[in-house]
Copies of this chain bind each other. A is one copy, B any other.
């Protein structure tokens, strides 16, 4: 018997991948959580039927949501991840020696616990690291209660349906602005430039109306819709384009490097047009 997991990434298109078994399933307080063992990508975390991360390609998303902003800020000490319960972003953040405190604000404790068990190499820093503070809390509430505290805030959300819908709203980006220090930076995952063009345009415009510096960048994630993924940066002061690449330190990464830091902001025309009115 062959088992194949198929995700309809849009109404009309998806990926299908061979699995050996379902390792774990749970209906958490917020979503359906499944962990399957795939032949191509190793273990795969699926939330509400959407691929969140896999053993094989997780490094791309987690490095690229983290290191671009962290290397743009000259001295990031206090960093917040909203969402990101798998711990991958936290693992990358604590590679930066300047970081004194990395806070995870994840609404769904079920994600954290299952990732600790089934993705130990992703969740490796969620346990036993005194620089890491794991909080099971609504990120919107957390930023409301911590004004002016953070150097960098990352929105490591699921798709804009279900529990994450509020994380794509303009009011939330204003809340992030308020939770950042006067030279703080935010970065949010903002979906596929092929399939989610209206969303990217709206978010870029919303963040651009709040932050003086707004930038869009992309990377290749094979298990995400279209294989091309975008992130949007909002910054109060520091511009990722002005980073001196020669000063970017090697952080033992598999995707990010000093040249990639700048190259990912050079957008194909069909993506660049999403950043124009």
Give chain A's interface residues, CB within 8 Å of chain B. Answer: 6, 10-18, 38-41, 57, 59-60, 194, 218-222, 226-228, 253-257, 259-260, 262-264, 266-270, 272
Contact = CB atoms under 8 A, between A and B. Distances in A.
A259 B266 contact: yes
A145 to B, nearest CB: 37
A222 to B, nearest CB: 4
B222 A227 contact: yes
A38 to B, nearest CB: 7
A9 to B, nearest CB: 9
Contacts of A13: 15-18, 38-41
Contacts of A6: 16
Nearest to A224: B227
Contacts of A194: 57, 220, 222
Chain A contact residues, majority secondary structure = mixed
Nearest to A60: B268
A155 B189 CA distance: 36
What are the 10 A-B residue pairs with the smallest beta carbon separation, nearest first? Answer: A227-B227, A263-B266, A12-B39, A13-B40, A222-B226, A259-B266, A220-B228, A263-B263, A12-B18, A255-B268
Contacts of A11: 18, 39
A37 to B, nearest CB: 11
17 contacts: A12-B38, A13-B40, A14-B16, A57-B194, A59-B270, A194-B220, A219-B268, A220-B226, A220-B268, A227-B227, A227-B228, A255-B270, A259-B267, A260-B268, A262-B263, A263-B263, A263-B264
Nearest to A245: B266
A60 B60 CA distance: 22
A15 B12 contact: no
B268 A257 contact: yes
A18 B38 CA distance: 23
Contact of A222 (B60, B228, B259, B263): B228
A6 to B, nearest CB: 6
A121 to B, nearest CB: 16
A15 B270 CA distance: 23
A14 B12 CA distance: 15
A260 B218 CA distance: 13
Residue among A10, A194, A260 facing the most chain B CB atoms (10 A cut-off): A194
